[in-house]
Chains A and B, each alone.
Chain A
Amino acid sequence: MSEDSLPVLKILIIGPSGAGKSAHCDDQFDPESTTATIGIDFKPFHHAAVSNSHSKAGQERFRTLSTSYYRGAHAVILVYDITSRKSFLSMEKWIDEARSSASPDAVLYLVGSKLDKVATGGRAVSFEEGKAFAESQGAGFCEVSSKTRENVRQPFVEVVDRIVQRPELLASTAPASSTAGLNLGGLGSNYSSACPC
């Protein structure tokens, strides 16, 4: 199997504005050290495409992510801010949307962010409450701080772990499908020169 044909995992990170999703995946997720943690079992899963979530804030503010955004996602990480009850309370709607728009087999994972704020008395949602809610939704759970890096790798490791336990999820989005999409990009400049015969 060449590296190019290895499956790409698509993991979405979504949640209300200001929950700290961008900090979580852009600055603090270190793919190098994750390699060591994940180990040999994950060798076939060469790439994980982690959605750069801050860039679509314009659709998260009013929870208007299009269903097309969820296409082919293997996992959805939902992030709320543990210092904001409002942020936590919105999770149910986010989960509903993820359920109805993503593949029914997609892994869901709940993340409480800004764990560092606990030291200054900022916590508004307890760990137990977050965990209980995640369990009731069949989702994994952890709390993280992108500032102190506490637990930042855990969501990705656990999500990948859960994905590989669901072979049907990988099968349904395998790139080797007989009618994989056509490559339009490489031919961008050939519009005028392509032979019509």
Chain B
Amino acid sequence: MESLGDEPWDVVICGTGLQQSLLALALSRSNKRILHVDPNDYYGEHEAAFSLQEADSWAATHAGRSTEEDSSVEKRQPIFKNASVWKHPDAADLGLLSPHAYSLALAPQIIHTRSKILEQLVSSQAYRQVVFLAVGSFFVFDAEATDSSPKLARIPSSREDVFATKAIPVKSKRYLMKFLKFVIDHDSEEQKPVWQGQEQKLLSEFLASEFKLDENLQKYILALTLSLDGLITVADGLATIHRHLTSMGVFGPGFCAVYPKWGGSSEIAQVACRAGAVGGGIYMLDTEANVSNSPDGHEISLELSNGISVRTTKLVTSQQDALPDAQTITRLIAVVNSPLKPLFETVVEGAPTPAVAVVVFPGQITENSPIYAFVHSSETGECLIGQSVIYLTTLACRQSAQRLESALDDLLAAATPEGSPAPVSLYKLQYEQTVSAREPLITTREETRTFAFPSPSLSLTFDDGCLGPVKDAWKLVMGDTALETEYMVFQDREGVGDDDDVYDL
């Protein structure tokens, strides 16, 4: 067996976050010598998905609190912090069994069907190893709802739906339809004048002034944007709503987004790494790589934590330090002992049963940012049958942890039919997540190149913006041999559809 240190590697990739993993996938047919290491003993880095034991130990290593005194300029801040877990004292009796059967996603994102990543997963054949599930209805939680109207109002998802719903007065429906029609071609020469000059205005104000949408309808539209602060501009808002509407029906009726089974982006990262291994890449987890001497310009020397030294001219890694004062979110993941069935009903004929539902708690004007809850059924493979996993997110502030807790209580109460026992949280994981600098960090020294991906976006929907740096890193590794038309375009490997051989018995 050849030793890892003998020959220089064409590229060493550190970390198995989604971007590094997609790079491994992009390079998987290049015949480059690739060493892919990760200091963690799990795949996925910032986008990992954890069993309960893994979640426990991750929370222990990310419990660090940052106090005011700590946050001096020199002090390096991590992407994740303030993590804690809570377990129900009778968790096992209530059904929290086999901790391995859980797969809690650190940074779950839904993927709009028109996202470029789906296109790339299809053209690279990697999609064959990912099971994609439908994201179903979006609900708005109405704290003031009286007994006659439900606290969870489903946002109509199509024109037919708008016509059918009884929740919206007829007059409002007309305004809403007018707006939806406008959004579909808001970028056309004909419609542009409607919003030109107002690009940076708040979307909510624009909805009121230009389309006479009442407060309720504004809430619906804003909810669809999944904007973290609720203060989305007209330009961004129209683009987001446009993506939402045009994603509807691309892969089947009734849904506009998908979610990869078993932990979202983590699963894509793992499948992409597997493609890297099938292509000949060597994988080492639980292995840190440190640049061991100042590069002389010809090669980068790396000292691996297992004692081996390796050499390369190209090092691809990810940024681990938070950008000072960057946007920060608080997340709460709860495993609950109820399937919360009412949230997963199909509303369009022929639509697949959704595995993810979105519940939005609109913000209160300036005081509170909105809270978003992604409810995952056991079909996601993230919890046992009869349970669900709820991922709540809001902008971090002094009360954000408590606000998420009470939103969770409200959601459980509202999603449980009257007379049924109230669902109970069995396990909770809470933490804060922030971002690194948003641009890739590229260092050039003579013949060596170091490329560091930015940390994942905090967006709740997959951000196609993260695909650009992957392609940039690919170009950097491929050099002159990069043929853009062949980027992520692969034939099936010999034999069958994926790397499995199917035998007829």
Residue numbers of A with Cβ under 8 A of B are: 8-10, 17-18, 25-26, 29, 31, 34-35, 38, 42, 45-52, 55-59, 61-62, 64, 66-69, 71, 100-101, 104, 160, 177-185, 187-188, 190-191, 194-197
Contact = CB atoms under 8 A, between A and B. Distances in A.
Interface of B: 1, 43, 51, 98, 100-101, 114, 118-119, 121-123, 127-134, 158-159, 184, 245-252, 258, 261-262, 267, 270-271, 273-274, 276-285, 287, 352-355, 377, 379, 381, 493, 495, 499-505
B177 to A, nearest CB: 13
Given A179-B354, A180-B131, A196-B245, 16 more contacts: A29-B503, A31-B505, A35-B505, A47-B504, A52-B500, A52-B501, A55-B277, A58-B276, A58-B278, A58-B279, A59-B273, A66-B270, A66-B271, A178-B353, A196-B184, A196-B246
A181 B118 CA distance: 14
A86 to B, nearest CB: 12
A194 B250 contact: yes
B277 A185 contact: no
Contacts of A194: 249-250
A50 B503 contact: yes
A188 B249 contact: no
When A and B form their complex, which 4 residue pairs have the shortest distance between CB atoms, in order from nearest? Answer: A58-B277, A181-B131, A68-B270, A66-B270
22 contacts: A29-B503, A31-B504, A34-B503, A47-B502, A48-B503, A52-B499, A58-B279, A61-B1, A62-B284, A68-B129, A100-B100, A177-B379, A179-B377, A179-B379, A181-B133, A182-B132, A182-B352, A184-B127, A188-B119, A191-B250, A196-B248, A197-B159
Contact of A56 (B1, B267, B278): B278
A52 B281 CA distance: 16
A188 B247 CA distance: 14
A10 to B, nearest CB: 8
B123 to A, nearest CB: 7
A63 to B, nearest CB: 9
Given A59-B277, A181-B132, A197 B503 contact: no
Q: Is the interface of A mostly helix, strand, loop or mixed?
A: mixed
Nearest to B505: A48
A183 B503 contact: no
A50 B127 contact: no
Q: Is the interface of B mostly helix, strand, loop or mixed?
A: mixed
Count chain A CB atoms within 10 A of each CB in B267, B270, B354 and give the residue with the most. B270
A46 B502 CA distance: 10
A67 B284 CA distance: 14
Contacts of A59: 273-274, 277, 283
A69 B122 CA distance: 19
A93 B123 CA distance: 36
Contacts of A191: 114, 119, 250
Given A59-B274, A66-B273, A71-B262, A187 B159 contact: no
B101 A104 contact: yes
A187 B250 contact: yes
A50 B501 contact: yes
A184 B127 CA distance: 8
Contacts of B130: 181
B274 A68 contact: yes
Nearest to A196: B246
Given A68-B274, A182-B134, A182-B352, A17 B98 contact: no
Contacts of A52: 495, 499-501
B505 A56 contact: no
B499 A55 contact: yes
Count chain A CB atoms within 10 A of each CB in B119, B121, B502 and give the residue with the most. B502
A66 B49 CA distance: 12
B100 A58 contact: no
A171 to B, nearest CB: 11
Nearest to B246: A196
Given A179-B133, A196-B184, A58 B271 contact: no
A179 B352 contact: yes
A57 B267 CA distance: 20
A5 B16 CA distance: 36
Count chain B CB atoms within 10 A of each CB in A18, A46, A56, A190 and give the residue with the most. A56
Contact of B277 (A25, A57, A178): A57
Nearest to B121: A184
Contacts of B101: 104
Count chain B CB atoms within 10 A of each CB in A35, A42, A62, A177 and give the residue with the most. A62
Nearest to A43: B505
Contacts of B274: 56, 59, 66, 68-69
Nearest to A194: B250
B43 A66 contact: yes
B359 to A, nearest CB: 19
Contacts of B281: 58
Given A57-B277, A196-B246, A184 B493 contact: no
Contacts of A34: 503, 505
A64 B100 CA distance: 17
Given A179-B352, A196-B245, A160 B262 contact: no
Contacts of A31: 503-505
B381 to A, nearest CB: 8
